[in-house]
Structure 1
Amino acid sequence: MATRLTLICHARTVAQKLGRFAQDEPIEMDWQSSAGSLSGHFKLSAQLLSAPETRAQQTGLLFASELDIVPALRDCDFGRWQGQRIDDLQAQEPEALNAWLTDSMSAPHGGESIADVCARVSAWLDTLRTPGHIIAITHPFIIRAAIVHALQCPMTAFNAIDIEPLSMTELRYNGRWRLRMERAANTKPL
């Protein structure tokens, strides 16, 4: 039996809506009235993990009332850019922003580089060798890093991957990681 890892991106935040680097902000939706609303989406035997940030934990509570917090699933440390608008940085620090977007080793904001995030996520994925289903509520950067690792892509592919709020990405491990795309619900194979 393979390890099945479903990565779920947290629900949308105001920072995402405004084009800002993330902070530890809540999700935009009324998660308290929606708590448990997605609980029937997965079998009860799945292990539910969450990044430590508020937005990931609130999203996780849409699926279950109990979450295991995993520090390796935390978002990228954006250093002094945390909470800053990307458009403002483009105007104020265009060279630094461009370096960060084009060089995976660059961290002009004083936080983590893309290479750092990819190494952290790769190390975490290497610990997941137990058969069963794991659901992890996390962030776009972490999901992108997991895809790059699974597909053994160069880190230059990192910025070519878009992850939407509440999207699901499935990886399977059976000797090596594979990206698994599922057909839409309620459709028959062609």
Structure 2
Amino acid sequence: MHIRVTLLAAARSSSVLDVRFDDDRPLDDAGRLEVLRTAPELAPLASAELRYCSPTVRCRQTCDALGLPVVAQPALRDCDMGRWRGSTLREVAVREPDAVDAWLADPRAAPHGGESLLSFISRVGGWLDTRPADEGDRVVAVAEPSVVRAALCYVLRVPPHAYWRVDAQPLSTVTFTGRAGEWCLSLG
């Protein structure tokens, strides 16, 4: 059975300069306006047979603004950043420079006490591989940009370090077609 899974990165909840680890803030005014402006382009997503979202506030609010009734999926949550949750990378780098270096260099490292990058990518990939669907089903999921990045790494089977080279902008989409363990990136 082949299915089609489209991931939509949630609208923004803060200035890019203020991005915090495992951030659960609501959409900001600019994010809400961006969703409304983009809604006509994203309207076809509403025809998906299965609709999911990350349990975060901004993902739920993005779905609400698009009129997408969804089921929250814990597996689509952001990477668990342990004690770094709520801090910016700059703040953590000042407090724990060696830990940040280890985290960026080794995808198995979790110096923050949370989830390693490799575990995060595997969790997101596991969610993809367990989508219940019939042949031809379409799935849409609104998730954090980090989840979109992790899914791309999983589907393309690239080394985990490629995660740092993917830029998932708010309200961008990526579509995968296939089935468990046999996914293809679908462009266009």
Q: TM-score when scaled to structure 1? A: 0.85
What residue is the counterpart of 1:147 in the other structure? Answer: 152
1:84 and 1:24 map into 2 onto residues whose CA distance is: 12
Please point out which of 149, 156, 163 is paired with 1:158. 163
What residue is the counterpart of 1:177 in the other structure? Answer: 183
Asked if 2 retains the 8 angstrom alpha-carbon contact of 1:23 and 1:83, the reply is yes
1:20 offset after TM fit, Å?
A: 2.3
Q: Does 1:54 align with 2:60?
A: no
1:46 offset after TM fit, Å?
A: 3.4
Structure 1: tracts of 5 or more residues without a match = 183-190
The percent of aligned pairs where both chains have the same amino acid is 32
Per-residue CA deviation, residues 66-120 of structure 1 (Å, 9 max, x unaligned), is: 2111111111111111111211222221111111111111111111110111111
Q: Which amino acid aligns with 1:178?
A: C
1:174 offset after TM fit, Å?
A: 5.2
Please point out which of 93, 111, 114 is paired with 1:90. 93
Q: Which has the higher helix share?
A: 2
Q: Does 1:134 align with 2:139?
A: yes
1:15 offset after TM fit, Å?
A: 6.2
What residue is the counterpart of 2:67 in the other structure? Answer: 64
Asked if 2 retains the 8 angstrom alpha-carbon contact of 1:15 and 1:21, the reply is no
Moved more, 100-109 or 29-38: 29-38
Please point out which of 105, 109, 114 is paired with 2:108. 105
1:127 offset after TM fit, Å?
A: 0.8
1:128 and 1:52 map into 2 onto residues whose CA distance is: 17
2:43 and 2:24 map into 1 onto residues whose CA distance is: 28
What residue is the counterpart of 2:76 in the other structure? Answer: 73
1:43 and 1:10 map into 2 onto residues whose CA distance is: 15
1:43 offset after TM fit, Å?
A: 5.0
Asked if 1 retains the 8 angstrom alpha-carbon contact of 2:20 and 2:88, the reply is yes
Asked if 2 retains the 8 angstrom alpha-carbon contact of 1:8 and 1:167, the reply is yes
Q: Does 1:167 align with 2:172?
A: yes
RMSD: 2.4
Number of residue pairs the alignment of both structures matches: 182
Counterparts in 2 of 1:139 and 1:173: CA distance versus 1, 3 Å: same
What residue is the counterpart of 1:187 in the other structure? Answer: none
Counterparts in 2 of 1:45 and 1:82: CA distance versus 1, 3 Å: closer
